[in-house]
Structure 1
Amino acid sequence: MIQTRGLTRRFGEVTAVDDVSFDVPRGLLTGFVGGNGAGKTTTMRMVMGLLGIHGGEVLWDGRAITAADRRRFGYMPEERGLYPKQKIVDQLVYLGELSGLPAGRARRSALSHLERFGLADRAGDRVEKLSLGNQQRVQIIAALMNSPTALILDEPFSGLDPRAVDSMVDLLREETARDTPVLFSSHQLDLVEQLCDRLVVLAAGRVVAQGAVEELRARGPERLRLVTDRDAGWVRDLRGLHVVDVDGPVALLELTGGDGDDVRRTLLQEGLGRGEVRELARVTTPLAEIYREVTA
């Protein structure tokens, strides 16, 4: 796995990354989220050895990472690094050779990935003739074509249409199925929530939360949605509940204390005593709300 321990990076008097520690385990998709300027890209560049480290270290399988380790990583930078005048397939073969692939194998891998991303008929075109979304596809292929031992992807879904997103998701799942650790950043929290096994949240250069999405949800209060056949304003009188909202027969509630089972049982009994209870269900807290809470 990839591990960072106390990573720190300063630019002049500004500390952009401050004592950042997290793990990217094998075979899992780890989402890296945070606002603009949170330090995600700087951290990824330090992991890849593209920026000097002012404090802390990066480990690969429990030991200090080496340049040889990093050459086997697939990396997709935030600023795309394609040559606009070069033919797509030639460029991919060149990049594959830089990562250690023989020319023939690099060409086969490039053509296979171009086919998968719907770009086989554009293989001989120059990069500058592609749309920004298709250029993004080529950049992704460059990161994947050498069977990487780890993937570090900075905003890989930016500019992709839904079909390309689906292809990208399938490829990432294939990588984790063969035990590859994957770290990717994204501002698309709904996509991160759908895909990620783990999450690392950065704010002002520091890790403010990390773990499985369900673990992060469990840090907050449990929420319930109650739907009755009449006005549900009576829930305000029950103990152990905070009323988030009541709109006629629908109430959104948070458990605040006591035994949760007892509170839910009392709520159900009280509702049935007043009429029909059409729904009483736990509400899943959206990732966007967890993000707002931990970065506030």
Structure 2
Amino acid sequence: MTPAISLRGATKVFASRRAVDAVSFEVRRGGATALLGRNGAGKTTTMRLVTGILRPDEGAVEVLGGRSDSVAIRDRVGYLPEERGLYKQMEVVEHLAFLGELKGVRPRRARERAARLLRSLELEHAARARIETLSKGNQQKVQLCGALVHDPEILVLDEPMSGLDPVNAVLVKRLFGELRAAGKTLLLSTHVMPLAESLADHVVVVDRGRVVLSGPVGEVKASFAGNTARIEFDGDGTFLLGVDGVVSARIEPGVAELVLRDAGDAQRALSAALSRLRVRRFEVSSPSLGEIFSRVVGEGAPPPLAHRPRAARGAALEAP
């Protein structure tokens, strides 16, 4: 089957800078792909190529088997840009109906669709409110409704959680799950790694305009499995950073998290710890998608240990 989205060597140059450099990946129909990268890595430019706003200078971008800048194709795609594009003087429902009509939806159908979307995001009370009176989070939800009002086959979502509080984030995540269940295709960029990990089946990581990691989420995580060890202990564990096979470490009183060169180095790290510490727990696990992202692109330090999610899978040894 023809993929929903296909990029083959897509390149976009601004002045002398290659914002997107020979990017290739596919999104299967009904699939969800997370496009991850640091700020300025090329995510938004890639999405603008997919939505036909920009044309590639080299390579090809196809959507639903046709050119991404074809009007007929663009009407089958919903795009949520990171920056807002709302008519703030309009009432919410009129704004959404207008956007639907621009995509060829009949007025009555557009209003029905708008009302249903507003209900799904618990925003029906604001249907007749002027957009400028809404909070930042509610404006983000209106913009999301605008990307969906014409019932597109593909959704391209650039930082869809931007500006949302935890309650609204749950509503939006639930809506995304419903869209996936309905067979919609999603391409989203996000800095909310738990969202990417729970929603996407594929991940593409870009850095400096190039793809540096790509594949099914499960396979990507499996390829890093066994490369993270957590040790809980009594004593001074600072020496662990110098153990052969330990690439990096975060060491705090009583606990250390080690990044290992490969899975075989776990036994060496455990032996070293047992020789000088009273080890209470040793666990080898798969890193989270956020940890993998940080390793691949080297973006900053990981969050404090207390706020890092435990791996879903892993082998643990309880010390006596």
The offset of 1:158, in angstroms, is 0.6
Structure 1 unaligned residues grouped into runs of 5+? none
Q: Would you say the 8 A contact 2:36–2:206 is kept in 1?
A: yes
Q: Output the amino acid matched with 1:137.
A: K
The offset of 1:257, in angstroms, is 5.9
Q: Which residue of 2 aligns with 1:150?
A: 154
Task: Return the alpha-carbon distance in structure 2 between the equivalents of residues 61 and 109 of structure 1.
Answer: 23
Structure 2 unaligned residues grouped into runs of 5+? 299-320
TM-score (norm 1): 0.84
1:108-123 alignment runs, 5 A limit: 108-123=112-127
Q: Which residue of 2 aligns with 1:42?
A: 45
Are 2:228 and 1:226 equivalent residues in the alignment? no
Q: Output the amino acid matched with 2:217.
A: V
The offset of 1:56, in angstroms, is 1.1
1:1-296 alignment runs, 5 A limit: 1-61=4-64, 64-65=67-68, 66-220=70-224, 222-228=227-233, 244=249, 250-256=255-261, 264=267, 267=270, 271=274, 278-296=280-298
- Residue by residue over 1:115-160, the C-alpha shift from the partner in whole angstroms, topping out at 9 and shown as x without a partner, is 2222212111221121222111111001122221110011111111
Q: Would you say the 8 A contact 1:243–1:251 is kept in 2?
A: no
- Residue by residue over 1:160-213, the C-alpha shift from the partner in whole angstroms, topping out at 9 and shown as x without a partner, is 121211111111111111222101112333433343322211111111112233
Q: Output the amino acid matched with 2:8.
A: R
Q: Would you say the 8 A contact 2:76–2:152 is kept in 1?
A: yes
Q: Output the amino acid matched with 1:54.
A: D
Task: Return the alpha-carbon distance in structure 2 between the equivalents of residues 240 and 94 of structure 1.
Answer: 60
Percent identity between the aligned chains?
A: 40
The secondary structure found in structure 2 opposite 1:169 is helix
Q: Output the amino acid matched with 2:128.
A: G
Q: 1:236 to 1:23 in 2, by over 3 A?
A: closer
Q: Would you say the 8 A contact 1:26–1:176 is kept in 2?
A: no
How many equivalent pairs are there?
Answer: 293
The offset of 1:233, in angstroms, is 8.2
The offset of 1:274, in angstroms, is 9.5
Larger Rg: 1
Task: Return the alpha-carbon distance in structure 2 between the equivalents of residues 152 and 241 of structure 1.
Answer: 39
The offset of 1:22, in angstroms, is 1.3
Higher mean Cα deviation, 212-221 or 284-293? 212-221
Task: Return the alpha-carbon distance in structure 1 between the equivalents of residues 189 and 284 of structure 2.
Answer: 29
Q: Output the amino acid matched with 2:295.
A: E
Q: Output the amino acid matched with 1:223.
A: T
Q: Would you say the 8 A contact 2:237–2:277 is kept in 1?
A: no
Q: Output the amino acid matched with 2:35.
A: F
Q: 1:250 to 1:7 in 2, by over 3 A?
A: same
Q: Output the amino acid matched with 1:292.
A: S
Q: 1:241 to 1:7 in 2, by over 3 A?
A: closer
The offset of 1:20, in angstroms, is 0.8
The offset of 1:292, in angstroms, is 2.7
Q: 1:216 to 1:87 in 2, by over 3 A?
A: same
Task: Return the alpha-carbon distance in structure 2 between the equivalents of residues 172 and 100 of structure 1.
Answer: 24
Higher mean Cα deviation, 239-248 or 39-48? 239-248
TM-score (norm 2): 0.78
Q: Would you say the 8 A contact 1:233–1:248 is kept in 2?
A: no
